[in-house]
Amino acid sequence: MENNTTEKAVNGKAEKTSSAGYPFESIPDGLAHVDAIVADSGSHSVISREEISASVGKKVNTLGLYFSTWVQYGMLEVVRGAGYKPTPLYKKYSDKTYDHHELEAKLEMFNNVPLYKKIIENLNNQILPNELKFQNILKEEPYNVNANSAKVAAKIFFENAKHLGLINRLNKFSFSLTPNGHELPPKDLPPKDEPQQKPPPPPSQSFLTLQVPMSSGVLAEIKFPKEYTDDDLDLIAAITIAYKKVKKPQDSGSKKFSLDD
């Protein structure tokens, strides 16, 4: 809502006071309206109030608070005598390349609002009262929201803060222009994949090959590790003798055999 000038009596004299502006709808609702406007009229041309009226389905004379809200967020900018046009910030939101660009743009929109700038300056990283009590804070210095508007101003502030994850379960308000308060990856660069570590190769084993000439003229091969004992050789001999006793004529190919077979 744009600043409103009212009069009040001070020491018997009329004194003009200024009521602070505030957004009339939340950032998601504002973006939904501007998305509809851009869908009808494009993002590069000046859009008249009448065209905007047709896009959002509201009469021109009821759009004053909406125009003010979209300009405060930085979604639209005024083209004097002609209408409005989408801002570079809106295009950053709509043309997002990576997921974090959308949140970045919304945080900038939040930070653009003059009322919210004051709240950030004075109440960042503090626990806020509930929405009802927050209305009373907005009526006072340095916020100066009109008493009749403080309820809506508080409601929309809390909707935006919760939507952007700026208020935790303890009602602590924490604002940063970087999502979650962390540094973002470089703009317009794809995220780098973490290098994958290859598993170490299995330990190599050295074998001795014992060649035994068979009656058929073929060489039989027995492999066993270089690190062997006499007991290992006795075991190999015992298995060979045992295999002789159970061998069947159809046996062929590779076979594992133990003394338990």
Q: What is the pTM of this model?
A: 0.63
Give pLDDT tens digits along the chain (261 positions). Answer: 444 443 443 344 433 334 458 999 999 999 999 999 999 999 888 999 999 999 999 999 999 999 999 999 999 999 999 999 999 999 999 998 887 889 999 999 999 999 999 999 999 999 999 999 999 999 999 999 999 999 999 999 999 999 999 999 999 999 998 876 544 444 444 444 545 566 666 666 677 777 778 777 777 777 777 777 877 777 777 777 777 766 654 555 555 555 555
Q: Which two tokens stand for residue 144?
A: 């100066």
Instruction: Enter the DSSP assignment of 62.
Output: G
220 forms bridges with which residues in the sheet? 212
CA distances from 87 to 98, 99, 146, 187, 221 (A): 19, 20, 29, 19, 81
The two most distant CA atoms of the chain are separated, in Å, by 131
Domain-wise residue ranges, the chain: 27-94, 113-181, 207-246
Radius of gyration of the chain (CA): 39
Q: Which two tokens stand for residue 209?
A: 């090959």
Peptide linkage before 142 cis (omega within 30 of 0): yes
Tell me the CATH number for domain 27-94: 1.10.10.10
Using alpha carbons, select from 134, 128, 179 the residue that is nearest to residue 155.
134
Kindly report the length of the chain.
261
